Chains A and B, each alone.
Chain A
Amino acid sequence: MAGANVTRIPELRRSLGDPRFVLLALGAVVLALFPYFGYVWGETYLVSLVAKMLIFAIAAVSLDLILGYGGMVSFGHAAYIGLGAYGVAVFSKFGIDNGYLQLAAAVAGSALVALFIGAISLRTSGVYFIMITLAFTQMLYYLGISLEPFGGDDGMNTRRSDFGIKLLGLNFTLNDNLFVCEKRLNPNCKVDDRDGAAIYYASYLALIAAVWFCRRIVASRFGMAIRGAMSNPVRMQAIGFPIYRYRLTAFVLAGAICGVGGFLFANHQQFLSPVYMNWLRSGEILIMVILGGMGTIYGAVIGAIGLLTLEEVLEGYVGKDYWQMVLGPLLVLLVLFANRGIYSLIPHRMRGVPMFIVRIGVVIFGFGVFVWLMSKSSPIMKLAGNIPHLPLYVIFASLVLALALRYWQESRARHG
């Protein structure tokens, strides 16, 4: 009955004997030091990229709160990224850079809209819930496009929020002054990049806070109530829970947390665009959670970093034209072979670690070889000439192979 445990909360032992804890702690340390190395190596682009990953991890974590623990498949989570960004842009347009004000507006705006959307869509369930959340988000998207004062569909530039913190002689405006890359100061810098790492660290701290908060929530009385409502809503009512209130509260909380992500995203991009609310973005956040592992919170972080890394690598090596067509089947493969998400693959005990490292090594190596073969400098290209859309043929062939393998495994398991 392994399947019965799928939505059971994975207890993470906070000890060095639990590989998951070790891995998460290591990850947190590496991420904390990352901007420093980015600066030393002059790779500030990478720092900015990882900051974006951290921001989307916040969005994914907040979605996992309602998806993995409340069973609410919201296909409109990007709405709150957009609303958070509007929280910055609206003030920025009128020359108000006060970060506290902007953050409060971003969170309150997201929470209010989530309250409205949730109050209506939570009266439905299943596929209707998915469709209604999607519909509301698309309405917001088109509303954003029609908002000419804020740039319409062109978007608008925004300034960074000012939190007015002066520390160690530095002015923390989420703006610069930490690990700024300048050619005259650091010979490794390829370009002058005055972006700095303040936005990175703000995102990092916000992500840590979001993960901590969500883990606390799901283990609390409130968390038990929404998990019970996911597991058996009829019984919940019979034992005396008014479940609608609890689910709506969870939906609003998730929206508010995601609004913080939107606030950070506007600061990161220094730009507002209604495209932030596009349904493709909502789908991306959903994929992050599913890929990383629903109902774990940590998995959402892994999924966000994993998906954005995958996109970056594919876009860079397979080419701008059709990397997404390669990404799709790859995701299908990943879900087929890790259907409870990446986080569930990490062993619970130390003796499982060597095998885990071997497996991960094989996957990364295989992926590397695949990307190399598919890239423009591939040896296949040299031997066979320029075959148009070669990666597509390969990826679809491997998808068919994988499905056949899966089918064979399952039929053997049934009969044997």
Chain B
Amino acid sequence: MAETILAIERLTKRFGGLTATNDLSLAVEKGEVHAVIGPNGAGKTTLIAQLSGLLAPDSGRILFRGRNITALPAHARSALGLARSFQVTSIFLNFTAEDNVALAVQAHSGHSFRFLRAARAEAALREPARAALARVGLQHRANVVAADLSHGEQRQLEIAMAIATNPAVLLLDEPMAGMGAEESARMIEMLKGFKGSHTLLLIEHDMDAVFKLADRITVLVYGQAIATGAPDAIRANPEVRRAYLGDEA
């Protein structure tokens, strides 16, 4: 049995009368690609917002590497090694691709009250940034201003910023959102490359992508996990078919 790196225990979040996360428990094991799927309104984005620290849960705990992080603010969780990407691309549009990633590296290498030394000349920032760009296949676009990148490339850049700091767990919020078929395929290939070396918690709408990538899948309906298991088991699960996959599967 693999080691659990991120554990969600009986997490509950209510918005007025709506229970977006309902007594949810989930364990992400080290090195796995764990996908969370579910119909619209199942509470996927609410879940990731609580994990990354943008929303506070009403009850329950989040354990990261055995440590209770439920009350930590977003930037502190990021510092511990819990990185995330955004559903809507969120990058520094007027920076070059490499500057974007270097800034993410900088965030994790001590404080930034350093005033005189040129940040662009610091190998300690640039080398990890270039390595991360290479991992997502953007090395040839390193000096292009982010605004001039295509949508797919911006999504890749977003992933590069998340992996640049070697996070222990990477939360990916719909990395394939708004992508064409070709771009999606490239993103899937790229994410496959992270298998084994990174732990990914993936929230995704694209079923093809999920079944190709995930080691385990959790199905979320009305804030509750109705099933967790290997892709084949999920595909065969009658409850899941009824609740979510419908005629599609």
Option from B90, B103, B145, B147 in Cβ contact (under 8 Å) with A224: B103
Stretch from B8-16, B115-123, B180-188, B198-206 that touches the partner: B115-123
Task: Decide if A217 touches B94 in the complex (CB within 8 Å).
Answer: no
A41 to chain B, nearest CB (A): 40
Specify which chain B residues have a CB less than 8 angstroms from the CB of A239 in the assembled complex: 75, 78, 83, 103-104, 107, 161, 165
Option from B52, B94, B108, B113 in Cβ contact (under 8 Å) with A238: B52
Does A219 count as interface, using CB distance less than 8 angstroms?
A: yes
> Taking A217-B115, A220-B118, A222-B113 as contacts, is the C-beta distance between A240 and B79 under 8 angstroms?
yes
> Taking A4-B94, A6-B94, A231-B93 as contacts, is the C-beta distance between A238 and B112 under 8 angstroms?
no
Specify which chain A residues have a CB less than 8 angstroms from the CB of B115 in the assembled complex: 216-217, 220, 222-223
Does A283 count as interface, using CB distance less than 8 angstroms?
A: no
Task: Decide if A220 touches B92 in the complex (CB within 8 Å).
Answer: no
> Taking A228-B95, A231-B94 as contacts, is the C-beta distance between A238 and B116 under 8 angstroms?
no
Does B242 count as interface, using CB distance less than 8 angstroms?
A: no
Specify which chain A residues have a CB less than 8 angstroms from the CB of B94 in the assembled complex: 4-8, 231
Specify which chain B residues have a CB less than 8 angstroms from the CB of A231 in the assembled complex: 92-95
Chief secondary structure at chain B's binding surface: mixed
Specify which chain B residues have a CB less than 8 angstroms from the CB of A228 in the assembled complex: 92, 95, 103
Does A352 count as interface, using CB distance less than 8 angstroms?
A: no
Does A221 count as interface, using CB distance less than 8 angstroms?
A: yes
Task: Decide if B161 touches A220 in the complex (CB within 8 Å).
Answer: no
Specify which chain A residues have a CB less than 8 angstroms from the CB of B102 in the assembled complex: 224
Specify which chain B residues have a CB less than 8 angstroms from the CB of A355 in the assembled complex: none
Does A88 count as interface, using CB distance less than 8 angstroms?
A: no
Task: Decide if B106 touches A225 in the complex (CB within 8 Å).
Answer: yes
Does A401 count as interface, using CB distance less than 8 angstroms?
A: no
Task: Decide if A234 touches B90 in the complex (CB within 8 Å).
Answer: yes
Task: Decide if B86 touches A238 in the complex (CB within 8 Å).
Answer: yes
Task: Decide if B118 touches A219 in the complex (CB within 8 Å).
Answer: yes
Task: Decide if B103 touches A8 in the complex (CB within 8 Å).
Answer: no
How far is A394 from B226 in the complex, measured between Cα atoms in Å?
A: 77
Closest A residue, CB atoms, query B85: A238
User: Chain B, 59-95, contact with A by CB distance < 8 Å: what is the 0/1 string?
Assistant: 0000000000000001110110001101000111111
Specify which chain A residues have a CB less than 8 angstroms from the CB of B84 in the assembled complex: 238
A124 to chain B, nearest CB (A): 21
How far is A217 from B106 in the complex, measured between Cα atoms in Å?
A: 15
Task: Decide if B112 touches A224 in the complex (CB within 8 Å).
Answer: yes
Does A183 count as interface, using CB distance less than 8 angstroms?
A: no
Q: What are 30 inter-chain pairs, A to B, with CB distance below 8 A? A: A1-B147, A4-B145, A4-B147, A5-B145, A8-B95, A216-B116, A219-B120, A220-B116, A221-B114, A221-B117, A221-B122, A221-B125, A222-B115, A223-B115, A223-B119, A224-B99, A224-B102, A224-B106, A227-B95, A228-B95, A228-B103, A231-B94, A232-B90, A235-B90, A236-B107, A237-B75, A239-B103, A239-B107, A239-B161, A246-B112
Which B residues have a C-beta under 8 Å from some C-beta of A?
A: 52, 54, 74-76, 78-79, 83-84, 86, 90-96, 99, 102-104, 106-108, 112-120, 122, 125, 145, 147-148, 161, 165
